[in-house]
Chain A
Amino acid sequence: MATPSSSVSDVLGVARKRRGEQAIKGLLFLAALVSVLTTTGIVFSLLEETIGFFGEVGLGSFLTGREWSPLFADPEFGVLPLVTGTLLISAIALAVAIPIGLGAAVYLAEYATPRVRKAVKPVLELLAGVPTIVFGYFALLFFTPEVLKPLFGEPLAGFNALSAGVIMGFMVVPTIASISEDAMSAVPGSLREGAFGLGGTKLQVSTRVVFPAALSGIVAAIVLGASRAIGETMIVLIAAGQQPNLTADPRESVETMTTFIAATAKGDVPVGSIGYETIFAVGTLLFLLTLLMNAISIRFVRRFRQVYE
């Protein structure tokens, strides 16, 4: 008969190879690898043509030039109008989406009864699923002529930044509302109790305790909303005209980086021409811009993240 200690070593000493587990581990690794490879692939595909572009156009004149007409016989490659167009429309969209989105989030997380929340949240998220081309035509055919024209009259162009920006804002609302609501709902109930216990009203508890405690999630929601706004193409393509216009006046027509890329890529610029290479140069700039925003947001979220036991 074996002594107790030897029987223990019999059991512990046999290292079995679990083949299934190894295979699953490999598959999971591949899944993670795909996203990394995609990003790297995008960077490389952008780089080649971008380098070609900057062989012909100086970086300084690209970034500071005030006129954008790359496909004209006498081309100008100042990207500023596209950058300001993008920033103008995104700013309008966020000016609409942040207050409405956060208001909706506070209502759903703090005020709505569970029944109302259960009914409203899916409807809100449905709004995020509406194809952007529908939003685009809504902006062009309804919002501009029926709402904005009576308000602003003649100075308002038929294609304008304001209409595209506001409607894009509505498109971004569900993103901000839904993620912010999740962040606020995740704030422990004990903090609410503590604040109510000190004589706080519902509004004070929501705005002074729950909202700041959920700030990192709320900022993440806003940054995600901003990224969607900067990357959005279809609404702007349809409703904002396509005039590379260095202006801060939202009543005018503008062109954004994304709409330039979309419109030029579907046109008939020959592969290898300077017009073709501009697509990639603008794409690289857009890529860097969103990368910068994500980097800022990650820093911010880390700084304000609260860990609750």
Chain B
Amino acid sequence: MIEVDRVTDKPPVTPNLSTQVAERDVARPDVPREAVFALEGVQVCYGDVPAVAGVSFELYKNQITAFIGPSGCGKSTLIRCLNRMNDLIPSASIRGKVLYHGVDLYADGVDPVQVRKRIGMVFQKPNPFPKSIYDNVAFGPRVLGMKDDMDDIVERSLRKAALWDEVKDRLKTNAFGMSGGQQQRLCIARALAIEPDVILMDEPASALDPISTSAIEDLMLELVGQYSIVIVTHNMQQAARVSDRTAFFNVDLDGGRRVGRLVEYAETEKIFTNPDDERTKEYVTGKFG
């Protein structure tokens, strides 16, 4: 479990990216690679307009994979394909294959409800339900009809999200009374309660202050031992601090249309210190975006 106090000891912004990456790699040596997701030629359109196209890569188990890139590069669109969240947008359509442990998530007969049970999601803005802290965490297990003792599930999930000590005396109070950072950790606890395999995080810290951001990042590093994590972020330091591998997306002008494309995908250290592509280098050194 994470000590909450530790959060404040850590400087929120690190000036030197490369040392940061190196430190973390020492702290957590590479684990054997097993692909959780394999994408093959994925293209997502809204109506007739492609948002992101031609994406093929593998995301690995027990790693944090970061999607970075300028606005409109399709990184959020892509992460929402990984648990079929784009199904909720009537105009969205997808081509190509999204294999999850070898199973195509978009094959006939795949139930999106089952998909989302295995692949949890945390959103950009904390979105707790207007219910008590307890009921927020218990929501997922209840709708899925999980049989374990609910008090246990709630405590376990809140402990994993490093929130238990802060809220254990007010579990029955409304979640809207929490700070933004606490709400986001509650949303993480809520996602953990249904015991997923993967956690998708779509800019989870973009609405938070630096201290809360740091708490979320510590939490991710804690959780990655048990889960595979995919994070979309437009904060490059964040990608450098937490991720094992980084995918850089960019906006291409394709016959007058702006389409997101995967430019480079490699170990985070390589992306930030020695990228192959000139555009990656310009982006991570802050020349554009």
B132-188 interface (Cβ within 8 A of A): 139-140, 142-144, 176, 187
Say yes or no: A213-B129 contact (C-beta < 8 A), given A197-B116, A198-B190, A306-B176.
Answer: yes
Of all chain A residues, the one with the shortest Cβ separation from B117 is A199
Number of residues from B at the complex interface, CB < 8 A: 27
- Inter-chain contact A198/B120, CB cutoff 8 Å: yes
**Which residues of B have CB within 8 Å of A103?**
none
B85 interface residue, CB < 8 Å from A? Answer: yes
- Inter-chain contact B143/A193, CB cutoff 8 Å: no
A195 interface residue, CB < 8 Å from B? Answer: yes
- Inter-chain contact B121/A197, CB cutoff 8 Å: yes
Say yes or no: A196-B127 contact (C-beta < 8 A), given A113-B90, A201-B113, A208-B139.
Answer: no
B88 interface residue, CB < 8 Å from A? Answer: yes
- Inter-chain contact A198/B130, CB cutoff 8 Å: no
Instruction: State the CA gap A208–B120 with chains docked (Å).
Output: 19
B114 interface residue, CB < 8 Å from A? Answer: yes
Of all chain B residues, the one with the shortest Cβ separation from A307 is B176
Instruction: State the CA gap A208–B128 with chains docked (Å).
Output: 13
Q: Tell which of B121, B129, B142, B144 touches A191, judged by Cβ atoms closer than 8 Å.
A: B129
**Which residues of B have CB within 8 Å of A195?**
129, 139, 143
- Give B274 Cβ to nearest chain A Cβ, in Å: 36
- Inter-chain contact B127/A199, CB cutoff 8 Å: no
- Inter-chain contact A199/B140, CB cutoff 8 Å: yes
- Inter-chain contact B129/A197, CB cutoff 8 Å: no
A9 interface residue, CB < 8 Å from B? Answer: no
- Inter-chain contact A213/B139, CB cutoff 8 Å: no
- Give A215 Cβ to nearest chain B Cβ, in Å: 9
A209 interface residue, CB < 8 Å from B? Answer: yes
- Inter-chain contact B194/A191, CB cutoff 8 Å: no
B97 interface residue, CB < 8 Å from A? Answer: no
- Give B262 Cβ to nearest chain A Cβ, in Å: 24
Q: Tell which of B85, B139, B140, B142 touches A193, judged by Cβ atoms closer than 8 Å.
A: B85
**Which residues of A have CB within 8 Å of B120?**
197-198
Q: Tell which of B121, B123, B129, B176 touches A209, judged by Cβ atoms closer than 8 Å.
A: B129
Say yes or no: A193-B116 contact (C-beta < 8 A), given A199-B143, A204-B143, A208-B139.
Answer: no
**Which residues of B have CB within 8 Å of A198?**
116-117, 120, 139-140, 143-144, 190-191, 194
Instruction: State the CA gap A213–B128 with chains docked (Å).
Output: 11
Instruction: State the CA gap A204–B142 with chains docked (Å).
Output: 10
Instruction: State the CA gap A209–B140 with chains docked (Å).
Output: 11
A231 interface residue, CB < 8 Å from B? Answer: no
Of all chain B residues, the one with the shortest Cβ separation from A215 is B130
- Inter-chain contact B88/A192, CB cutoff 8 Å: yes
Of all chain B residues, the one with the shortest Cβ separation from A197 is B121
B63 interface residue, CB < 8 Å from A? Answer: no
**Which residues of A have CB within 8 Å of B176?**
306-307
- Inter-chain contact B140/A191, CB cutoff 8 Å: no
- Inter-chain contact B113/A193, CB cutoff 8 Å: no
B279 interface residue, CB < 8 Å from A? Answer: no
- Inter-chain contact A208/B143, CB cutoff 8 Å: yes
Instruction: State the CA gap A199–B143 with chains docked (Å).
Output: 7
**Which residues of B have CB within 8 Å of A52?**
none
B131 interface residue, CB < 8 Å from A? Answer: yes
B24 interface residue, CB < 8 Å from A? Answer: no
Instruction: State the CA gap A68–B220 with chains docked (Å).
Output: 74
Say yes or no: A191-B114 contact (C-beta < 8 A), given A113-B90, A197-B85, A198-B194.
Answer: no
**Which residues of B have CB within 8 Å of A145?**
none
- Inter-chain contact B191/A197, CB cutoff 8 Å: yes
Instruction: State the CA gap A309–B128 with chains docked (Å).
Output: 12
A212 interface residue, CB < 8 Å from B? Answer: yes
- Give A76 Cβ to nearest chain B Cβ, in Å: 52
Of all chain A residues, the one with the shortest Cβ separation from B144 is A199
Instruction: State the CA gap A198–B113 with chains docked (Å).
Output: 8
Instruction: State the CA gap A307–B176 with chains docked (Å).
Output: 9
B258 interface residue, CB < 8 Å from A? Answer: no
**Which residues of A have CB within 8 Å of B125?**
190, 309
Interface string of A202-216 (1 = CB under 8 A from B): 001000110011000
**Which residues of B have CB within 8 Å of A196?**
85, 88, 116
A172-227 interface (Cβ within 8 A of B): 188, 190-201, 204, 208-209, 212-213
Q: Tell which of B85, B113, B123, B130 touches A213, judged by Cβ atoms closer than 8 Å.
A: B130
Q: Which of A196, A212, A306 has the most CB of B within 10 A?
A: A196
B246 interface residue, CB < 8 Å from A? Answer: no
- Inter-chain contact B130/A193, CB cutoff 8 Å: no
Provide a sorted-by-A list of 26 A–B residue pairs whose CB atoms are within 8 angstroms.
Answer: A114-B90, A188-B127, A190-B123, A193-B127, A194-B127, A194-B129, A195-B143, A196-B85, A196-B116, A197-B83, A197-B191, A198-B116, A198-B117, A198-B139, A198-B144, A198-B191, A199-B113, A199-B143, A199-B194, A200-B139, A208-B142, A208-B143, A209-B129, A213-B130, A306-B130, A307-B176
Given contacts A198-B117, A200-B113, A212-B131, 19 further A-B contacts (CB under 8 A): A188-B127, A191-B129, A192-B88, A193-B123, A193-B127, A194-B128, A195-B139, A197-B83, A197-B121, A197-B123, A197-B191, A198-B120, A198-B140, A198-B144, A199-B117, A199-B144, A199-B194, A200-B143, A208-B139
Lowest 8 CB-CB distances: which A-B pairs, in order?
A: A199-B117, A198-B140, A197-B121, A190-B127, A306-B130, A194-B127, A204-B143, A200-B143
List residues of chain B with CB under 8 Å of any chain A CB: 83, 85, 88, 90, 113-114, 116-117, 120-121, 123, 125, 127-131, 139-140, 142-144, 176, 187, 190-191, 194
